């Protein structure tokens, strides 16, 4: 297969047909979802899955999410689906909720990093849906960025990070939600939230009752390895609630990620990104990764980020910021 990293408009029917063919032949296609762009391949083809890990430089202990377009596709992936899972699917699918389900043997172990569960999600984005339907296979897709870096929310972000390591990039414009799906598990004795995301803990609790927040490292296989993630190259510090302006070394060139329009004047930041002038968390989430990337591209000594209230979508935003702020170990 010719490696191109070519960006094509997702709006054309021919683009979807071509992308589906690339997937069926074992290639890699980056495609938009409502959350972030995914790097997709045929989940049932172990060689294709191995290429995804290679393209992202992703360690093989970190399992992938499998994307489907209809519930019928679940039969080939999971062997039991609990009542709570059914209720969550009914309420949130298609949409930004990933569920861990008991895995069927025919799913390659590489997809789930040898775990007995498989992460499944049904995206609502029409391009993602069209692609999965046309490919007629379940599509394994991590976020389309080099491992550990900030997730991509537009086609250019994918090209910047993966370039020719991806066969085709479907350009469907900027992602509407901007943070990844929430990952929940009904497999254990209590409903668990493994990764906060676009669907809030409060929303999930309304369907299944109290939900426990899993410790911040997702992979039980290698606890501690994923603390730093979604990370900029420039070190990032989260400000405290009260801190309008941190004490910065005199020579430091710094950028600020602000939740709303900064209230104080006389700051020393070289650049400020405002996530939502009106303080709307949806808007903030949508702009989060693109703003981090713009700040990161300017080669500052340090980035500072204002915190937000950790309720609703604020939980996902703070989770991403904390992982970005985690020092390199």
152 binds ligand TXA (CB under 6 A): no
15 binds Mg ion (CB under 5 A): no
112 binds Mg ion (CB under 5 A): no
Among 38, 130, 172, 178, binds ligand TXA (CB under 6 A): 38
Instruction: Provide CB contacts within 8 A for 185, sequence distance 6+.
Output: 99, 100, 117, 191, 192, 194, 214
For 33, the 3-state DSSP assignment is coil
CA angle 326, 316, 189 (to 5 degrees): 100
Question: Residue 100 binds which one of ligand TXA, Mg ion, none, with CB within 5 to 8 A depending on kind?
Answer: ligand TXA
Region from 11-19, 180-188, 204-212, 301-309 binding ligand TXA, contact rule CB under 6 A: 180-188
219 binds ligand TXA (CB under 6 A): yes
The alpha-carbon radius of gyration of the chain (Å, integer) is: 20
C-alpha span between 233 and 231 (Å, rounded): 7
- Beta bridge partners, 143, equal 38
198 binds Mg ion (CB under 5 A): no
84 binds Mg ion (CB under 5 A): no
DSSP string, 195-232: E--SS-HHHHHHHHS--EEPPS---TTSTTTTSS-SB-
C-alpha span between 321 and 310 (Å, rounded): 12
Nearest CB to ligand TXA, comparing residues 212 and 244: 212
Query: How many Cα atoms are found within 13 Å in the side-chain-facing hemisphere of 208?
Result: 26
The structure tokens listed for 263 are: 């209230």
Among 15, 35, 200, 232, binds ligand TXA (CB under 6 A): 35
124 binds ligand TXA (CB under 6 A): no
Region from 45-53, 135-143, 268-276, 305-313 binding ligand TXA, contact rule CB under 6 A: 135-143
115 binds ligand TXA (CB under 6 A): yes
Contact 182, 44 (CB under 8 A): no
C-alpha span between 154 and 144 (Å, rounded): 10
138 binds ligand TXA (CB under 6 A): no
* Residue 266 exposed, middle or buried by CB count within 10 Å (0-12, 13-18, 19+): exposed
**What residues between 137 and 196 interact with Mg ion by CB under 5 A?**
143
Region from 67-75, 135-143, 166-174, 254-262 binding Mg ion, contact rule CB under 5 A: 135-143
Q: Which residue is nearest to Mg ion (CB)?
A: 143
Among 18, 44, 65, 73, binds ligand TXA (CB under 6 A): 65
Among 4, 60, 82, 117, binds ligand TXA (CB under 6 A): 117
Report the interface residues with ligand TXA, using CB under 6 A. 33, 35-36, 38, 62-65, 96, 98, 100, 112, 115, 117-119, 121, 141-143, 180-181, 183, 194, 218-219
Report the interface residues with Mg ion, using CB under 5 A. 143
């Amino acid at each position: 297969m010719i490696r191109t990293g070519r960006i094509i408009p997702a709006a054309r029917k021919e683009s979807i047909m071509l992308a589906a063919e690339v997937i069926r032949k074992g290639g890699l296609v980056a495609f938009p979802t409502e959350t972030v762009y995914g790097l997709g391949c045929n989940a049932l083809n172990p060689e294709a899955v191995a290429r995804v890990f290679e393209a992202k430089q992703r360690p093989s202990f970190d399992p992938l999410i499998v994307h489907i377009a209809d519930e019928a596709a679940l039969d080939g992936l999971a062997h039991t689906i609990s009542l709570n899972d059914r209720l969550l699917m009914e309420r949130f699918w298609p949409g930004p909720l990933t569920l861990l389900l008991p895995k069927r043997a025919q799913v390659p172990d590489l997809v789930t990093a040898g775990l007995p569960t498989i992460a499944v999600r049904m995206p609502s984005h029409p391009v993602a849906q069209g692609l999965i339907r046309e490919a007629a296979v379940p599509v394994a897709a991590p976020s389309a960025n080099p491992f550990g870096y900030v997730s991509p929310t537009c086609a250019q972000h994918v090209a910047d990070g993966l370039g020719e390591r991806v066969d085709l990039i479907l350009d469907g414009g900027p992602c509407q939600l901007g943070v990844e799906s929430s990952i929940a598990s009904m497999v254990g004795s209590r409903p668990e939230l493994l990764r906060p995301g676009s669907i809030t803990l409060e929303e999930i609790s309304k369907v299944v009752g109290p939900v426990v927040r899993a410790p911040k490292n997702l992979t039980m296989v290698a606890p501690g390895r994923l603390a730093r993630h979604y990370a900029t190259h420039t070190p990032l510090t989260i400000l405290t609630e009260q801190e309008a302006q941190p004490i910065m070394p005199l020579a430091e060139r710094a950028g600020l990620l602000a939740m709303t329009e900064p209230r104080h004047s006389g700051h020393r930041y070289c650049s400020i990104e405002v996530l939502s002038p009106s303080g709307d968390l949806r808007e903030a989430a949508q702009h989060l990764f693109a703003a981090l990337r713009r700040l990161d591209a300017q080669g500052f000594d340090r980035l500072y980020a204002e915190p937000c209230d950790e309720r609703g979508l604020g939980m996902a935003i703070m989770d991403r910021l904390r992982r970005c702020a985690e020092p390199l170990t």
